[in-house]
Each structure stands twice: as C-alpha cells, then as structure tokens.
Amino acid sequence: MPFKDALGLLVESVKGGIGAILVDSEGEAVDAFTHGDQYEIRLAGAHHVIVMNLLRDAVKRMNEADMLKGLSIKSEKIAYTVMPVEEGLFVILMQDDTGTLSQGRKALKDTIPDIVALI
C-alpha cells in the first residue's frame, strides 16, 4: 500500500477529514491525500512541521527526558494534528469544524504503524 492510500484511509476514518500529508523535518511533502486543494495541504504540512520542530526544541531544553509526542492546533474552521512517524518524518491531519481533535489524534496514532511499515 502506498503512503497516499494510508493517508486516504486516515482521512476517511475521521469525521470532518479534509486531508493528510506526510512531510520531512523541513516541511517537504513526501505524499499527500486530500479532498481539498493540494497546495493548501502542502502549505499546512510545511508550516505545521516548523511549529512542531520549534516546540520540540523548546521542550528538549526544558527537560531532556520529555519528548513532544504531538501537537493539535484548532482555528475557527480547521483543526490540524501533527505527530512524528520517526526521526525527521511527520504526519499532519486536517479536519473541518465537524471533527474532533481527540478522534483525529487517535486515528493518527493508530495510522502511524501502517506508515512505518511502508518505509
């Protein structure tokens, strides 16, 4: 199964799923699935990985034993959930305002082993 298929299953498994993208630590897209605009999902991937990396660095400086396992950002209409897959690789899930962050986080966490198996 290609990355796009795993990302598509993730998006379809959550209420309000818009898209999901697999990106490297610099925000470059590896693969994506979206019901929306490809440019928008790639832009979200690039921006949210930068935020995730900055927060991970801050957490590391505060406590070497603690690692940031994920990040959720909710605006008025869109929710973004970011989780690391492995070193230097992240998945970002986009949901509209009908979705819930907790469902998105659980689905993303459950999908990560499938993505790891494809690497």
C-beta neighbour count of 47 within 10 angstroms: 14
pLDDT at residue number 1? 59
pLDDT digits (tens, 9 = 90+) for 77-97: 988 888 888 887 888 898 998
Placement of tokens 């994506």 in the chain: 32
Output the CA torsion sign for 68, 33, 105, 72. Answer: positive
Which 3 state secondary structure label does DSSP give 80?
A: strand
Confidence of residue 106 (pLDDT cuts 50, 70, 90): very high
pTM: 0.83
How many helical (H) and strand (E) elements, i.e. helices and strands, does the chain have?
3, 5
Domain 3-118 has CATH 3.30.450.30: yes
For the chain, domain boundaries: 3-118
